Amino acid sequence: MLNREELFAAIGEIDDELVLPVLARLEEEREKPRLHMTRKALRVALIAAVMAALLAVTAVASGVLGLKSRLVPAETPAETADPRLPERRDHISLNGLAGSNEYLACSEWLSFCDYYEEQMARECLAAGKEAEAWKDSFHAFAQNQAERDICRIYGAWDETMFKRLNEISQRYDLRLLTDITYAPSQSYLFETTGLSPYIRGVERYDYDLGSFLFEDGSFKDESTISVNGEQYAYTLTCIHTGVLYPFSLELPTGARYREWEHVSPEGITLDMALFDNEGSNNLIIFCNSEDMYVTLSLRWSGGTAEEAYARAELLADCFDFAVLCGE
């Protein structure tokens, strides 16, 4: 008779042809942009962008270019939303403030993805197919490997999406990223980007191999630090301007948050946003120089609101933002 361990082992021996497409798909989905914004939401965002641009003149001096100026709101899902269709969430633009070419191009591209992917999914479902049957995971429509790499990075699943991607990047005068490399170690990340170590005062640092970088030096570092006996998972992105960045940061759903400014030991003003969702804390820190946008997200559970506030500033000071901003 069969036991669960044997069943688990047997599943590991199923035919390769069944596993390979799943491996390919999950790896692609891992870095697929997950921002979904409809045209209506885009209009709201564009109005917000104009307002933010008007405010920006004074905001630079007062350092209030925080979460709101990076926010890309999602449209409220319809009550009759089909569970087979992707869930919509608010996102944060990672390399431009509202009104900038980077923010607008990112918003427009992701808005198009939302509209187009949903339309295609609905057509497939209506025809009795899987919602994602229209997607060409192998990008056979691409003319060469370079185009396939771009499609893979940006989640362009057919020729229409690829053409639109190119059109948006050209209109906003932004480059498309073409080469993503997974960093096997933090030292590799430092060597490749030319950065000095930027974490300090922690008891332990665990690099979790979820980090990657692009050909322009933009990178994401996903790791864990231990401070005062507690572990904190973090996601750090340092993204250059001048490119249409394919990814964004999802905001916690339905969470309350407070914003404030914190000055780092190097004298850099950080915009802090602390989300509290039923005892689960999510801290997001923003700062930027002329050509680099830094976004750091840390997560932990438990503690009172005041403890979370104090802990947020302690954690912020574990990162050298002068190094990250290239100052």
Partner 1 sequence: MDDASIIELYWQRAERAIAETDAVYGRFCYRIAHNILFDPQDAEESVNDTWLAAWNAMPPHRPSCLKMFLAKLTRRISVSRLRHSTAAKRGGGEVELALDELAECVSTPGGVEQELEARELEQAISRFVRSLPETERTLFIGRYWLVYPVNELARRLGLKPGTARSALSRTRKSLKEYLCKEELC
Q: Where do contacts with partner 1 occur on this chain (CB under 8 A)?
A: 1-16, 18-20, 22-23, 25-27, 29-30, 32, 34, 83-87, 130-133, 182, 184, 206, 209
The DSSP bridge pattern shows strands 243-244 and 175-176 to be parallel
CB of 234 to partner 1, least distance (A): 16
CB of 253 to partner 1, least distance (A): 11
Q: Between 83 and 229, whose beta carbon lies closer to partner 1?
A: 83
Return the closest-CA partner of residue 94 out of 81, 112, 107, 84.
107
Q: Between 25 and 262, whose beta carbon lies closer to partner 1?
A: 25
Q: Between 188 and 260, whose beta carbon lies closer to partner 1?
A: 188
Q: Between 232 and 286, whose beta carbon lies closer to partner 1?
A: 232
Burial of 173 (0-12, 13-18, 19+ CB in 10 A): exposed
State the Cα–Cα distance between residues 136 and 129, nearest whole angstrom. 14
CB of 270 to partner 1, least distance (A): 28
Q: Between 264 and 282, whose beta carbon lies closer to partner 1?
A: 282
Specify the DSSP class assigned to residue 69: G
CB of 210 to partner 1, least distance (A): 8
Q: Between 185 and 304, whose beta carbon lies closer to partner 1?
A: 185
State the Cα–Cα distance between residues 181 and 188, nearest whole angstrom. 11
CB of 285 to partner 1, least distance (A): 23
Q: What is the DSSP string of 191-244?
A: HHHTPPP-B-S-SEEEE-S--EEETTS-EEEEEEEEETTEEEEEEEEEEESSEE
CB of 305 to partner 1, least distance (A): 26
Provide the b/e sequence for 4-27 (b: ≥16 CB within 10 Å): eeeeeeeeeeeeeeeeeeeeeeee
